[in-house]
A and B are shown apart, each in its own frame.
Chain A
């Protein structure tokens, strides 16, 4: 089994693991973790493609695209986390926030 195939199959397995976590968990942060695992599984697949021919140099175009993907996945995770926190604050009730705002508590 060539090492490229090992990484490709690992990427495929990570996608499956991430999908399981995403579909099963109700907690938003856990789902963010699962989403990131799916994303990095796809990146691993892509990175294995970039290294297809052993002995030759790696293909830089997929690698650049993966870097872009990592950054965008982080941006999505950051937005998701902010939304999760905002949702939690809303659940806890508006009255708590009004008190915080008036007293200038950080």
Chain B
């Protein structure tokens, strides 16, 4: 019976993604893409990956949707197609999908993955949530590089600003009717969002959650206050902004380096590991929030 739900969900996922690709109106495609992200989040829950579901819903569906809508407001839509003809492209897509599907269906459900290894060392990792343990402790190096990749993308976004816009402010489009509604909503939501974000980081140690999911909530709340004219986007030369951006990865790197004294790079000594991980996650969440929000705000165009 549960298989019926999975099959239905997957059919919906395929239908919505197909409609998003084929859609004539880009706005409709973007809306369908957001829906696709949410359906995918449900699929993650079905696959027992709740942390992934949180990340997908927040970043994959939510923030990516805002990003694309912002792009839509600036880039003209067109349904122009590239040179390769439709039947050939269908053949290409189908053959790749078939090849991957064939390779995957051959996998024998025989071997256990790394669950046991992680389970054995979970107590020593300092946290109770295995995904957080992997992200922040066992594979902490990857997570550090991931946050640096975010910064690199932001540097790229800032690098394409036109001559007079360099070191300027990104801007939020502001021709809204009903700004009083938005400002009331923003005022009410901001402190609540802050609490929720802090909670998601804190609870990531023992239940689904974590720095990235919390950072997205905080970024969304900040973006909302900017859209509601309760605060204005910072100039990218702003020192406080730049401190917020790098303090997370910097702290992560510093703490990881002290692990060298304990024996290995990025090792957290067992008695203090829990505290260290939560401290890193809290600061990292702030950096992630700042980076994600600035990525959505985009390239600064006007002088500060």
Q: Which residues of A contact B (CB under 8 A)?
A: 1-21, 23-30, 32-34, 36-37, 40, 43-45, 47-54, 56-68, 70-79, 81-86, 88-89, 97, 100-101, 104-106
Contact = CB atoms under 8 A, between A and B. Distances in A.
B271 interface: no
Contact of A61 (B17, B113, B146, B154): B113
Smallest CB-CB A-B distances: 4 pairs: A16-B97, A59-B113, A21-B21, A20-B93
A104 B96 CA distance: 50
B178 to A, nearest CB: 20
Nearest to A101: B164
Contact of A82 (B55, B94, B96, B160): B160
Contact of A25 (B64, B81, B154): B81
Contact of A20 (B44, B56, B67, B89): B89
Contact of A47 (B20, B36, B44, B72): B44
Contact of B131 (A18, A67, A70): A67
Which of A48, A62, A63, A72 neighbours the largest number of chain B CB atoms within 10 Å of its CB?
A: A63
A14 B13 CA distance: 9
A106 B67 contact: no
Contacts, number: 300
Given A16-B96, A79-B153, 15 more contacts: A1-B3, A6-B6, A19-B97, A29-B71, A47-B47, A47-B49, A52-B111, A54-B109, A61-B134, A64-B142, A65-B142, A86-B160, A89-B301, A100-B301, A101-B302
A40 B60 contact: yes
Contact of B84 (A13, A24, A44): A24
B298 interface: yes
Interface in B11-50: 13-14, 17-18, 20-22, 26, 29-30, 33, 36-37, 40, 43-44, 46-49
Given A47-B44, A66-B52, A101-B303, A85 B80 contact: no
A15 B60 contact: no
A14 B295 CA distance: 26
Nearest to A27: B78
Interface residues on B, range: 35 or more
B296 interface: yes
Nearest to B94: A16
What DSSP secondary structure best describes chain A's contact surface? helix
16 contacts: A6-B10, A7-B46, A8-B107, A9-B10, A10-B43, A17-B93, A23-B93, A25-B81, A29-B72, A40-B36, A47-B49, A52-B113, A56-B115, A63-B52, A74-B292, A101-B164
What DSSP secondary structure best describes chain B's contact surface? helix
Contact of B296 (A26, A62, A78, A106): A78
A35 to B, nearest CB: 11
B150 interface: yes
A2 B109 contact: yes
Nearest to B48: A58
B299 A85 contact: yes
Nearest to A63: B49
Given A71-B55, A74-B60, A8 B7 contact: no
Contacts of B207: none
B64 A12 contact: no
Interface stretch (B98-106, B239-247, B249-257): B98-106
Contact of A71 (B59, B74, B114, B303): B59
A85 B104 contact: no
